Amino acid sequence: MRSRFRWALIIIGLVLGLMLSTQFRAQQEKVQTTTVQRIEQLAQEVEASRAERDALRARNTELRNELDQVAGEAPHGRLRNELETVRIQSGVSSVTGPGIEVVLSDSSLPSQMGQDPNLYVVHDEDLVRVLNELRAAGAEALAINGERIVATSEVMCIGPAVRVNKTKRLTPPYVITAIGNQDTMIAALEMRDGVMDTLKYWGIQVTVRRVAEAGIPAYTGPTTFNYARPLSREGGS
């Protein structure tokens, strides 16, 4: 009797084990199938985004070429000058002129016990403060690590790096190039208790140098507007 009972338990155990094993394999296959499908979906979305980006870049280049052609054919000298001024102000033209370079690097000081180590790292808000100070001092053109800064540019932290103009990932050291009155811009940065004093308090390495002919490239980022639109002549929307 006991022998039969033991055999019954063994058979039941084997059946349960087989059922659990089968269920586990089925679940694993389901998870793997779902993962593969998700990866394929993400790959398709990335490819679609790349295609859209390339199309926008091509259209952007086409429009700029048309603008260059119109500018060259403009019969009136004043119109050409006004058009070139607008191109410089909007950032779609490369520019050169006297200016300064501001280099910001992470602190070399060891963080103190109990202090946030992020205080010793250059963040997006630090770059924005420097950019705003230079704008207020009359900077006519700005760039970070060779990436042109325009009215719609954003500077955003993404982990240990900074993203500019929605597509460019920049890492330290950050080199901010500014064209304008050198004395005015340097004085604005170095004023007492100003942006440079605050950064140096945490050991952030900041150097400023004059550049006789600073070169700043044209803006090549996205130019799509989702909400803004031209105001009609009648003043309506």
- Please state at what angle helix 124-136 crosses helix 182-190, rounded to 10 degrees: 130
For the stretch 37-87, pLDDT in tens is 777 788 788 888 778 877 877 777 777 777 667 666 655 566 677 777 777
CA 90 to CA 113: how far, in whole Å? 47
Q: Which span out of 45-54, 61-70, 120-129, 140-149 was modeled with the highest average pLDDT?
A: 140-149
Residue owning tokens 């190039």: 177
- With tokens 């998870």, the residue in question is 31
Alpha-carbon distance of 118 to 71, in angstroms, equals 48
Predicted confidence (pLDDT) per residue in 151-190, tens digit: 889 999 888 889 998 888 999 999 999 999 999 999 999 9
Residues whose CB is less than 8 angstroms from the CB of residue 122 and which lie 6 or more positions away in sequence, other chains included: 104, 105, 106, 172, 174, 199, 204
- pTM of structure: 0.66
DSSP string, 153-190: --EEEETTEEEETTTEEE-SSEEEEEES-HHHHHHHHH
Q: Are 159 and 172 in contact (CB under 8 A)?
A: no
CA 100 – CA 187 distance, rounded (Å): 12
